[in-house]
Amino acid sequence: MATRQTQILGRSVTAPSVLLLLAWSLAPLAATIYFSFTYYNLLNPASGQFVGIDNYSYFLTDPAFLASLKNTLVLVGSVLVITVVLGTLVAVLMNQPVIGLNIVRLMVIAPFFVMPTVSALVWKNLLMHPVSGLFAWIANSLGLHPIDWFANAPMLAVILIVAWQWLPFATLILLTALQSLDGEQLEAAEMDGAGPFSTFFYITLAHLARPITVVILIETIFLLSVFAEIFVTTGGGPGLATTNIAFLIYSQALIQYDVGGASAGGIVAVILANIVATFLVRLVGKNLEA
Amino acid sequence: MARATSRTRIAVSTAAAWIVGLAIFFPILWMVLASFKTELDAFAIPPKFLFFDWTLENYGVVQKRSDYVLHAYNSIVIAGGATLIALLIAIPAAWAMAFAPTKRTRGTLLWMLSTKMMPPVGVLVPMYLFFRDVGLLDTRAGLIGVLCLGNLPIVIWMLFTYFKEVPKDILEAARMDGATLAKELIFVLAPMSVPGIASTLLLNFILAWNEAFWTLNLSSADAAPLTVFIASYSSPEGLFWAKLSAASTLAIAPILVLGWLSQRQLVRGLTFGAVK
């Protein structure tokens, strides 16, 4: 244990971080809560009166809310399934003896470092364009009818883009975890006559359970806030087809200037994220003790 | 026999891994190729893979028409400023929590982590109004502040996990030899922490460079970093693919290199030490 003097010193050098984060996490949130109970429209000077829970009942009963809640769940759920399943397979593949693994690894992680606006626009124009995109050409060459992604399957298009961005994250974490898997255990299983499939399911997957949980929780936190990809590709449309909660709140605040309604939505988003965050913090906290 | 099978196995897994790797990397490769095409070639059907008239024209046009350098400068100043300030604030805190932990340290760390989980959209409204009222909209200083605070929890956590790994015995030995706290910091701790601090700097610089919620909402022109600049290509669809590709290639090239250098730290930084 540290001496009294170092403890005082320690506390005083920790204080700036604590105070800044305290201000950052409380002040805007308090303001959001306050706004969420007032009538406040940037276009209407007669704003500011207390309206109780009107904003909440308006936001929660707005059909756009249900649509965007559904879209959020579809987006988060699909990206999670794609990245975890493919991520596990790619990680297992990369854990095999591969010549030039370092280069393969570089190629696999690269999408994670591409800024969201770039990946969204490259996918939208160069790959998914219904006439001149590469996918359309591939479909035509195979004698299929090309898909007009952003008109006919806009949500699927957004899901693919976001999944491409997050696949490297899942792969990298699962690969790191696989590399810590005891080789002897696998050999023992093989000696005992376990086939590749039972080895995979009973040993590899069991070993990956925890890292997969970590991937799911961390990705969920970020995926609940997907914004830029929607902002530059679909603008939430067509209609509400790709509006998630983050985008709905943004458009309510900065397009419709309904500060009160957007604030109520913001609080709903905070509550949703908190449910996930509680699990993650608990998981990390357990690890901190060990 | 065993050697033969393992050779086949290596061949199969190598081929599979390369195919998967190339498939995942392909959109980036395709974009880089497009950046060297004329607009007509970029749009051509059937697509031209390697046999087209390679040109550097797009790179020149991007700079001339849209002042690429200003936005790149903004990205560097904003991401660099936010990361450096966060490091200055976080190093003493992480140091104290790693070397002089108290009963409250664990709770403090977890609370700091939890602040990172607040969805930015939950505080978009007050932040936007605050920025508007104090004249911080579309300023580099404003974005530096927001990105600095947004990444501060990750910076503290990463530094904490690195400092934790500095062997305590060495510090004690230095103390036994009569080193003062200042000397201990400068001659023992600092050199051993440099790699950890460098990794933290690198990963958080990347995160700040790619941040696209606050930058899109709080800047538009003067302070707009590359994320916002690229987003401006979303409206004129069709005819600007080669230029979009050139601008995008310039925007991600430096960060791709940094990212590849910091791939090991990525796991640690983004899982808060939950996966090692």
Render pLDDT for B119-147 as a digit per residue (tens, 0 to 9): 888 888 889 989 999 999 999 999 999 99
Task: Mention every residue, 6+ apart, whose C-beta is less than 8 A from residue A219.
Answer: A79, A80, A83, A166, A169, A170
Residue of B114, B210, B227 lying closest to A277 (CB–CB): B114
* Residue numbers in B near A111 (CB within 8 A): 24-25, 27-28
Size of interface A-B (CB pairs under 8 A): 317
pLDDT of residue A264 exceeding 80: yes
CATH code assigned to B63-271: 1.10.3720.10
CA nearest to A114 within chain B:
B252
CB distance B266–A112 less than 8 Å? Answer: yes
Q: What is the pLDDT of residue B271?
A: 74
Quote the mean pLDDT of chain B: 85
* pLDDT tens digits, one per residue of B25-43: 999 999 999 999 888 787 7
- A162 burial level (CB within 10 Å; 0-12, 13-18, 19+): buried
* pLDDT tens digits, one per residue of A179-235: 887 777 777 887 888 787 888 888 888 888 888 888 888 888 889 889 999 999 988
Separation of CA A28 from chain center: 22
Highest average pLDDT, of A78-87, B122-131, B219-228, B263-272, comes from: A78-87
d(CA A267, nearest CA chain B) in Å: 6
At B2, is the pLDDT very low, low, confident or very high (cuts 50, 70, 90)?
A: very low
Quote the mean pLDDT of chain A: 87
Interval B155-173 mean pLDDT: 84
| Top-confidence residue, A103 or A50 | A103
ipTM of the modeled complex: 0.86
| Residues 136-175 of chain B whose Cβ lies under 8 A from any Cβ of chain A | 149, 152-153, 156
Q: What is the pLDDT of residue A204?
A: 82
CB of B255 less than 8 A from some CB of A: yes
Helix A259-289 / helix B105-115 crossing angle, nearest 10 deg = 140
At A288, is the pLDDT very low, low, confident or very high (cuts 50, 70, 90)?
A: low
Q: Give me the percent of chain B exceeding a pLDDT of 90.
A: 29
* Residue numbers in B near A14 (CB within 8 A): 92-93, 96-97, 108
Interval A115-125 mean pLDDT: 92
pLDDT of residue B1 exceeding 50: no
Domain ranges of chain B: 2-57, 63-271
Q: Which structure tokens are listed for A71?
A: 């879209």
